[in-house]
Amino acid sequence: MALRRVVVTGIGLVTPLGTGTEKTWNNLLNGKSGVAPITRFDASGFASQIAAEVKDFEALDHFDKKSAKHLDYFVQYGIVAARMAVDDSGLVINADNCDRVGVITGCGMGGLPTIENNHNVYLKKGAKRISPFFIPMAIPNMPSGHISMQIGAKGPNLSLSTACAAGTHAVGEAYHAIQLGSADMVVTGGTESVICPLGVGGFASMKALSTRNDDPEKASRPFDKDRDGFLIAEGAGMLVLEEYEHAINRGAEIYAEVIGTGASSDAHHIAAPPEDGEGAARCMRMALQSAGLQASDVDYINAHGTSTPLNDRCETAAIKTVFGEHAKSLAISSTKSMTGHALGAAGGLEAAFTAMSLKEQIAPPTMNLETASLECDLDYVPNAARKMDMNIAISNSFGFGGTNGVLVMKRFKS
């Protein structure tokens, strides 16, 4: 059976840079930071008191009062981003095609604020006061479930939970579903919202978060010698992937073509990558092989680029291993320098950014890169977006547990 081509026809974004794709994209290209002091709770006693919250999202603009009350933020963000993506694609879902439309989403932790809130209710008021909506609000597959119900999609319905690679793995699975013929269209991406005491406190206790509390906008600084950790973020990035002929026949606008994906495991450590980035390198090679490409074909990488000392060093090593001398010719950027690290949503956001970069022929900047560390000596598109010829781009995501995901996209030319 011939493998089918897969294209991106819709994008929806809810991010710390804005609710809406155009607003987020414009702020990204202009180097605006979404990081600020935490407002969701009193963080004064925490080592890290800053985060990248979604600031302009009003639940009642998108849901009735009852629905908003019974949907955790990560579900709300996922639904709204998915609606945007479907609207952007112009896709009409009806009785004739609904069983060919799938929903595949990723998230890292599910409804952690809901878990925390209901545990507090239990401690104060007893088991009988736990909300009957607690479980359906918190479990990780609720974004994919609610999205399918709202848009009427009756095809494959999956949720992946692979830490910070979840959004990328979801897009990869959607790509395979269409490529192999089990769906013609898939709404896919990632969503996350864990800016709550347990979430921030847990990552802070691992020494994973930046403590640059007095300078929030400059705290996320991937590849910079003074980076000291990532900035916890929230949001959702959703895409509509579609079989090529189906998209062409209905006259859809196409952002980019997805042409390969890779998935691997470090089999090394619960949180730290190996120093040589071997698992990440293997994943990039797998993705390029699946796309039928040579390393020298790649023009741009949207890096995982978390702003932690270890990750950025190891990702740079992995890129050098895979690309050799061509690594010096690559444009590489970490959009987490502006969005923060949205954990399971990050891969969805960055897949969207990669598709938009190919369409617009521009590489977003890596902000706050003032002096690169000695081990990070590649071209990270510092501090200003760059217009460039871009035919092939990849997006990297690496998660706790040593799980790795890579997407390969190609510029679409009609």
DSSP helix/strand/coil, 263: strand
Task: Say whether 169 is catalytic.
Answer: no
**H/E element, 392:** strand 392-399
Which member of 164, 283, 314, 376 is catalytic?
A: 164
CB 312 within 8 A of CB 336: no
Which member of 146, 169, 176, 304 is catalytic?
A: 304
Q: Rounding to the nearest 10 degrees, give the CA dihedral for residues 235, 258, 280, 321.
A: -130
Task: Say whether 107 is catalytic.
Answer: no
d(CA 247, CA 89) in angstroms, rounded, equals: 9
The secondary structure of residue 225, as a DSSP letter, is T
Which member of 107, 246, 341, 376 is catalytic?
A: 341
382 has which bridge partners? 366
Angle formed at CA 71 by CA 70 and CA 75, multiple of 5 degrees: 165
Question: With helix as H, strand as E and coil as C, how does 67-124 read?
Answer: HHHCCCHHHHHHHHHHHHHHHHHCCCCCCCCHHHEEEEEECCCCCHHHHHHHHHHHHH
The secondary structure of residue 235, as a DSSP letter, is E
DSSP helix/strand/coil, 277: coil
Cα distances (angstroms) measured from residue 278 to each of 70, 151, 282: 43, 41, 6
The secondary structure of residue 157, as a DSSP letter, is E
Kindly state the tokens that stand for 197: 């005491």
Task: Say whether 341 is catalytic.
Answer: yes
Residues serving a catalytic function are 164, 304, 341
